Amino acid sequence: MEEMITTPRILDGISIASEIKAEVADEVQALKARGIIPGLAVILVGEVPASQIYVRSKVKTCGELGIFSELITPSESITTDEMLALVAVLNARDDIDGILIQLPLPKHVDTKRLLESVLPDKDVDGFHPVNVGRLQSGQPGLAPCTPAGIMEILRRSDLAVVGQNAVVVGRSDIVGKPAAMMLLNASATVTVCHSKTVDLPKVTREADILVAAIGRPGFVTAEMVKPGATLIDVGINRVTDRAQVEEFFPGDAGRAATFAKRGSVVVGDIHPAAFESAGAYTPVPGGVGALTIAMLMQNTVTAAKLRRGISTRKK
């Protein structure tokens, strides 16, 4: 009997992000009908080109969805105390529901102290220890945007989570740990792996859902993946070596043209060859990364509701 060959399902983050943005726009209109305009303040310190592009995209999306946004751009010489004073003013403003401090900050600024100075109810990045605790205990709160995006991809793609073996490769506070906690809250059986994990391939081959979030291009290879697994690739790595590009994307004329034009291509933490045996996977680009700004917009609206005692439960 011939073995059936199934084509892996591509999980389109761009279309899912569009769905979420449309829903957020409707929520914003409903709030405006009650005299409430959700507001987001974004603090961008200094002149970091990549951060400037990303922040412009956030501000533009706010405008498209009807969210009030305020961009604050202190000079790179700003001190920790001056930043704390700025955050205190934003904490006190009723028209600001969310405060986002664009990272990285200059080395002389105490990033941890600053992030913890943001009121938990306005912490739309979900980094504050209070929000970490709310996530762990299953209380309503603001969750980190990228892990929240991962869960939306799984939910909106009708992919089973309950009872599934989920393996998260990476234990960062921003993605790995909160993603593991969200999967656990959704009744998956969760294993978190890291640089000290013994026999990593043995663990990853048991995964029904494999989340790669370590920042190493093509680290998870085909031999490390269970056939039919759902692969969630959080990595966004720029590859500038031609030999590596050819190794990751053999015979891919489109990638070769991109490399010739830009001198780099983007690859995730999962080797593209691993996708061939997957049941479903998120592409890079166009996968998880597309959800991050959409979830930030959702968090801003959620913050506006929570601060006013309005239910955040979806119909």
The identity of residue 126, as a single letter, is: G
- Based on the residue annotation, tell me whether 58 is a catalytic residue of this protein: yes
Q: Which residues of 286-313 are buried (b: 16+ CB within 10 A; e: fewer)?
A: bbbbbbbbbbbbbbbbbbbbbbeeeeee
| Lowest mean pLDDT across 12-21, 223-232, 237-246 | 237-246
Backbone angles phi, psi at 293, to 5 degrees: -70, -40
Topology of the domain covering 144-288: Rossmann fold (3.40.50)
Q: State how far the Cα of 217 lies from the Cα of 223, in Å rounded to an integer.
A: 16
**Please, are residues 213 and 234 in contact by the beta-carbon 8 Å criterion?**
yes
- Based on the residue annotation, tell me whether 125 is a catalytic residue of this protein: yes
Q: State how far the Cα of 224 lies from the Cα of 277, in Å rounded to an integer.
A: 11
Instruction: Locate 39 and state its tokens.
Output: 């507001």
- Based on the residue annotation, tell me whether 261 is a catalytic residue of this protein: no
pLDDT at 1 (0 to 100): 43
**Please, are residues 296 and 17 in contact by the beta-carbon 8 Å criterion?**
no
Q: Which of 97, 121, 123, 125 is catalytic?
A: 125
Query: Across the chain, where does the E strand assignment appear?
Result: 9-10, 39-43, 68-72, 98-101, 165-169, 189-193, 209-212, 230-233, 237-239, 265-267, 280-281
In this predicted structure, the answer to whether residue 162 has a pLDDT above a threshold of 60 is yes
Q: State how far the Cα of 37 lies from the Cα of 43, in Å rounded to an integer.
A: 20
Q: 302: closest CA among 134, 190, 76, 112? A: 134
Instruction: Locate 70 and state its tokens.
Output: 């305020």
pLDDT at 315 (0 to 100): 53
Query: pLDDT for 238-254, tens place per residue?
Result: 999 999 999 999 999 99
CATH number of 35-125: 3.40.50.10860
Distances in whole angstroms, Cα of residue 79 to Cα of each of 51, 56, 82, 173, 193: 19, 24, 5, 25, 37
Does the bond joining 144 to the residue before it have cis omega, within 30 degrees of 0? no
Q: State how far the Cα of 8 lies from the Cα of 42, in Å rounded to an integer.
A: 39
Query: pLDDT for 290-311, tens place per residue?
Result: 999 999 999 999 999 999 999 8
| Lowest mean pLDDT across 18-22, 54-58, 119-123 | 54-58
Mean pLDDT calculated for residue range 16-40: 98
Contacts of 217 (CB under 8 A, 6+ apart): 235, 237, 239, 244, 248, 267, 268, 269
pLDDT at 4 (0 to 100): 54
Q: Residue 102 has what DSSP assignment?
A: P
pLDDT exceeding 70 applies to what percent of the chain? 98
pLDDT at 226 (0 to 100): 97
Q: 151: closest CA among 126, 175, 171, 123? A: 175
**Residue range(s) in the chain whose domain bears CATH number 3.40.50.720:** 144-288
Q: State how far the Cα of 128 lies from the Cα of 116, in Å rounded to an integer.
A: 6
Q: Which of 97, 102, 121, 305 is catalytic?
A: 102
**Arithmetic mean of pLDDT over the chain:** 95
**Please, are residues 228 and 281 in contact by the beta-carbon 8 Å criterion?**
no
Mean pLDDT calculated for residue range 157-180: 97
Q: What is the pTM of this model?
A: 0.94
Length of the chain counted residue by residue: 315
